[in-house]
Amino acid sequence: KLIEDKTIDESHKTLVPQDGAGSGTVKEEAPEGETVAEDTLRLRFRHFSCREAEGPRDVCRRLRELCHQWLKPETRTKEEIVELVVLEQFLALLPKEIQSRIRAWDPETCSQAVALAEDFLMRQRQDEEEEKKEVAGTDKRKS
């Protein structure tokens, strides 16, 4: 039995048994020329539900499989994997407004995400200062 996350866009995912025997081991295939977005793989891992599996052993097997699809330990260094996990946690800790704007830029490293967050906060402060100046200017004209 292949377990699929129904929230994923089905046009970008095909689950194919690796050994052809229906062992439940799956590999990721995407339409020609396309790759499954890393964020999609991360979300599959993070949103996996126990209800999608048959017992504790299957839950653990599927989590391991989804984690490997996301983190790709066979092609990434330990440091690259740590960077992905820290980046995910950093983004998760940000206020929703900042988080959504930074995710839209799709940073690949923590330093990129930090720079985007700092830029966002700097612009926000500048906008607030300009707003205060405008209000102060309006108040002086009323006097």
3-state secondary structure 36-63: CCHHHHHHHHHCCCHHHCCCHHHHHHHH
pLDDT over threshold 50, residue 83 = yes
The model carries a pTM of: 0.65
CATH of domain 1-75: 1.10.4020
In the chain, how long is the greatest CA-to-CA distance?
84
Residue 141's pLDDT is what?
67
Residue 33's pLDDT is what?
45
Query: Which of 113, 10, 16, 7 is CA-nearest to residue 69?
Result: 16
Q: Where in the chain is the domain with CATH 1.10.4020.10?
A: 77-143
CATH of domain 77-143: 1.10.4020.10
Q: What is the mean pLDDT of the chain?
A: 79
